[in-house]
Structure formats: structure tokens, C-alpha cells
Amino acid sequence: MPNTESNSYTILFSAILVVAVGVLLTLVFSWTNPSYLKSVELEKRQNILSAALGKSVDREQAESMFDQYITDMAMYTADGALVEDGSETAFTLNQAKEVKKGADEERFPMFKFQNGDTVRYVLGMRGTGLWGPVWGFIAIESDLNTVFNANFDHKSETPGLGAEIKTDMFEGQFRPKDGNAKELYGDDGSFKGIRVEKTGKVPQSSPEYQHVVDGISGGTITSNGVSDMLQKYLQAFTNYAEKNGLKTQGQALLVD
């Protein structure tokens, strides 16, 4: 038995352990990462489609359905200027990197969904929750005002609290219910966006309620993160729509 308390033994032991663990982790990582990245990509397609369709989509079909229904995509800046980049599309855009670039340089992805006459715009969003990033997709009807659907996900929010943003209880609030849909513009025509507020803060009878979804009790920080995220991406989308006029591109999408 070697003297386990000597300095040289301690250093040797630590070195072997570090190398062993490092090699093991790197091997496992390089073995698992490709199929992980593939799953992430498929899931992204799935989420974009399910936001636009309002129902869940099989992972196996995600790729072919994506090619079928997502007819166009675009990237723009916060003030709504269209961005052309030969090396990246709205789909390959890494939003985790984009959000760190700062307000002036961040590019916002948008996907156009088309199924016959139905056209919807799906926005990719990313923000910050309590423990890590939160992200999601929100689908806007072709009137550029009515919210059709949204889905959210997170990396490490607290189960049962912040993590509730990906449940139907929360996401369902973005779908039109009994003829009442969430809307981006107020009755006076000014941009309001969608906010997440404490349940009951804005009464359901108030006209403001069409811009508000109820937050998660106990998950205030995550709710606020989602709220900021929604405002930011909806504002940018509105800027883009108003500036480049989805209308003036001959698509005549605004309902008069």
C-alpha cells in the first residue's frame, strides 16, 4: 500500500483522476453529441410547426412537414430592418449567441407558415428565466395582430414552479378561447404586445386582458423573464412588419 498522504502520491492521484474523468467525459460527449444535436434540430422544427398548427407534431414527420409548410423565413433587427446573411438562415441562427450580442446587433428569426390560404408567422424567442435560458415560439395570424398559439421551453427552471411555462395551463392562454384571442395592438391601434402578469392583477373583464396572460404563482422570476422576452420579440416583429410592410411586398396580409 503506497503512502496515501505523501505529496507526490496526492498529486499523482489527482492527475490520474483528472485525466481519467476528462477522457471519459470527452469520449462520451463526442459519442453522444451528434445524435443529440440531431434531436435538438428536429425538436426545433417540431416546435415551430406545432406553434403554427396548434397541435403537436410527430418528430419523425417534422422534417418533411417543415419543408412542406414553412414556405419562407427571414431575419431582421430590433428596429425591423431585414438582414441578409449568406451563411445563415433564420432556422440555423443560434439565438443563444444572438441574445448576447446586444440590442443593436441581435437578429430575430421569423418563419412563414402557409397551408392553403392560411398564413401565420412564427417568431423564435429566447430570454432568461431564473436558472437558465427560456425560449419559445409564438405564432401570429396573418392580420399581424392576433396571437394564434405559442409554446415555451426552458433549460433548468424549477420543476413545478418556473418549469410550468411549458405546460398546457400556461401555453393554452395564448390560444383563442371563446372568441377571445390575445392581440398585439390595443383598441386605439398602438402596440401593446403580450405581458405576463400576476394572476388577477388585470381582471379578465378589462380590455387590457387581451394583452395579458396569467403568470405562474411561485415562478415570478421565470414569468417576468417570459414577459420581457415576449415584449422584445413582438415589438421587433411589429417593427419589421410595419417597416418592411409585409403588405407592401405584395402579400396583402393586413386585414383592413
Partner 1 sequence: MELVNIFVKSIFVDNMIFAYFLGMCSYLAVSKKVNTAVGLGLAVVFVLGITVPINYLLENYLLKPGALSWMGAEMAGIDLSFLSFIMFIAVIAATVQIVEMAVEKFSPSLYSALGIFLPLIAVNCSILGGALFMQERDYANIAQATVFGLGSGVGWFIAIVAIAAIREKIRYSNIPGPVRGLGMAFIITGLMGIAFLSFSGIKL
Partner 2 sequence: MSTETTVQEKAPKAPAKPLFTAKDRKLITDPLDDDNPITVQVLGICSALAVTVQLKPALFLCMGVLFVMVFGSATISLLRNLVPSRVRIIVQLVVVAALVTVVDLALKALAYDVSKELSVFVGLIITNCIVMGRLEAFALANKPGPSILDAFGNALGYSVILIIVAIFREFFGSGSIMGFNLIPQGFYDMGYVNNGLFILPPMALILVGIIIWVQRSRNKKLIEAN
- Does position 29 interact with partner 1 (CB under 8 A)? The reply is yes
User: Rounded CA gap, 230 and 237, in Å?
Assistant: 10
Position among 114, 128, 173, 244 found at the interface with partner 1 (CB under 8 A): 128
- Does position 31 interact with partner 2 (CB under 8 A)? The reply is yes
Q: Are the beta carbons of 120 and 140 closer than 8 angstroms?
A: yes
User: Rounded CA gap, 240 and 249, in Å?
Assistant: 12
| Residues in binding contact with partner 1, number by CB under 8 A | 13
Nearer to partner 2, 101 or 177 (CB): 177
Interaction with partner 2 in 167-226: which residues (CB under 8 A)? 217-218
CA separation, residue 150 to residues 21, 38, 158, 188, 247 (Å): 41, 23, 21, 25, 24
- Residue 160: name its binding partner from partner 1, partner 2, none (Cβ under 5 to 8 Å by kind): partner 2
Position among 71, 89, 156, 251 found at the interface with partner 2 (CB under 8 A): 156
Position among 19, 24, 81, 96 found at the interface with partner 2 (CB under 8 A): 24
- Does position 163 interact with partner 2 (CB under 8 A)? The reply is yes
Kindly state the cell numbers that stand for 20. 481519467
- Residue 220: name its binding partner from partner 1, partner 2, none (Cβ under 5 to 8 Å by kind): partner 1
- Does position 28 interact with partner 2 (CB under 8 A)? The reply is yes
Beta-bridged to residue 74, according to DSSP, are: 110
Nearer to partner 2, 157 or 183 (CB): 157
178 torsion bin: left (phi>0), alpha (psi -120 to 50), beta (else): left
Nearer to partner 1, 28 or 255 (CB): 28
Q: Exposed e or buried b for every residue in 36-63, given b needs 16+ CB within 10 A?
A: eeeeeebebbbbbbbbbbeeebeeeebe
CA separation, residue 226 to residues 97, 157, 179 (Å): 18, 12, 24
Site residues, partner 2 (CB under 8 A): 1, 4-5, 9-10, 13-14, 17-18, 21, 24-25, 28-29, 31-33, 35-36, 39, 43, 131, 155-161, 163, 217-218
